[in-house]
Amino acid sequence: MSEISKKRVLSGIQPSGNLTLGNYLGALKQWVEEQATFDCYFCVVDLHAITVQQDPIELRKKTREVAALYIACGLDPEKVTIFVQSHVSAHSELAWILTCFAPIGWLNRMTQFKDKAAKQQQQDSISSGLLNYPTLMAADILLYQAHAVPVGDDQRQHLEYTRDIAQRFNHIYGETFVIPEVMIPKAGARIMGLDNPLSKMSKSEASDNHAIYLLDEPNRVKKAIMRAVTDSSGEILFSDNPERAGVSNLLTIYQSLSGLSKDETQEHFAGKGYGDLKRGVVDVVNATLDPLQKRYNQIISETGYLDAILANGAEKARERANRTLREVQDKVGFLAAR
Ligand code: TRP
């Protein structure tokens, strides 16, 4: 299939905190599977990260770390475009234009905004950037005329918002943006916290036994999983019962990483106890992380390798993004710069 006829996909992850197994199973693993079929753009969304204050040195470090992890997880820089969001100024520029079409009421209703705002200690320090976050995300997607956006289940609402903004703009100015579809992975879309299986595994959660990070050592993986919350029923079955959420979560992790079906996973653990389940999960997680970490270390230690990929990615991304931006600028009536 030629590049022209391939459908386009775009997604991104924030370089704040450490990437977790949730990021891998909810996003990266699926991206890797898509790279052969779609024309893919994957960015590290540093503009989104600063919606809450970041340490500048740490932000730079995490930006490279996330990009290196994209590759370590199996994205092939020869096939897909990997870039840093702030390297393509069109993201900020389109975000501003879309901000002027974004009803405050729509933004106020966003669950992620309400959650994040509630977590800020001082209400005075909630930035309007946090409120406008979904508009920047819409710009990311619409600039590339992406047909599909692979994201975790928690981003569904932001995708709806993106579609609404795109439709609003198209309605006023005529067909401009492709209306993107959300793409949610089948198994593993939602990996929950090990310490609290009722909330999503998050890279911004501070507590010790909450998440498995992609760069964790085998011993830390083991510790966190062995301490994972279960229940007293003793049953190892997938279940929608909130009281069984911990066991279901461990089963989901096992199933996604082993490639077994739900039934096969349950059969595998039939007649066994929670200790066996946890040990099984530890093994399958470490077997996944070991080769991934080896590739990561190689990428990071090879001077200039990653920077060259990001420079090349930014150039390709700019080319595509600027075409859309110019069309939009023209439609809203900006005087062409000479
Ligand atoms: N909001 C997304 C998240 O928190 C990250 C993101 C930013 C994104 N821009 C995007 C995801 C564009 C997909 C497409 O996970």
Report which of 264, 291, 210, 287 is spatially closest to residue 18, judged by C-alpha positions: 210
Structure tokens given for 95:
């975000």
141 C-beta closer than 6 A to ligand 1: yes
What is the model's pTM? Answer: 0.94
What is the mean predicted confidence (pLDDT) over 58-83? Answer: 98
What is the mean predicted confidence (pLDDT) over 137-147? Answer: 98
Q: Whose CA is nearest to atom 6 of ligand 1?
A: 12
Instruction: Give me the pLDDT at residue 154, please.
Output: 85
pLDDT in tens, 151-201: 888 899 999 999 999 999 999 999 999 999 999 876 566 899 999 999 989
Query: What whole-number distance in Å separates Cα of residue 338 and Cα of residue 335?
Result: 9
149 C-beta closer than 6 A to ligand 1: yes
The helix or strand, by DSSP H or E, that contains position 150, with its residue range, turns out to be strand 148-150
Domain ranges of the chain: 8-184+303-332, 218-298
Q: Say how many Å lie between the CA of residue 86 and the centre of ligand 1.
A: 14
Burial class from Cβ neighbours inside 10 Å (0-12, 13-18, 19+) for residue 190 reads: middle
Please say if the pLDDT value at position 50 is more than 90: yes
Instruction: Give me the pLDDT at residue 185, please.
Output: 73
137 C-beta closer than 6 A to ligand 1: yes
Structure tokens given for 37:
């079929």
Give yes or no for a contact between 134 and 109, defined as CB atoms under 8 angstroms apart.
no
155 C-beta closer than 6 A to ligand 1: yes
CA Rg value for the chain: 21
Q: Which atom of ligand 1 is nearest to the CA of 136?
A: 9
Residue 206's pLDDT band (cuts 50, 70, 90): confident
**What is the CATH code for 218-298?**
1.10.240.10
Please say if the pLDDT value at position 1 is more than 60: no
pLDDT in tens, 321-332: 999 999 999 999
Please say if the pLDDT value at position 125 is more than 90: no
Residues annotated as part of the active site: 116, 200, 203
12, β-bridge pairs = 43
Specify whether domain 8-184+303-332 bears CATH 3.40.50.620. Answer: yes
Q: Say how many Å lie between the CA of residue 167 and the centre of ligand 1.
A: 19
Please say if the pLDDT value at position 276 is more than 60: yes
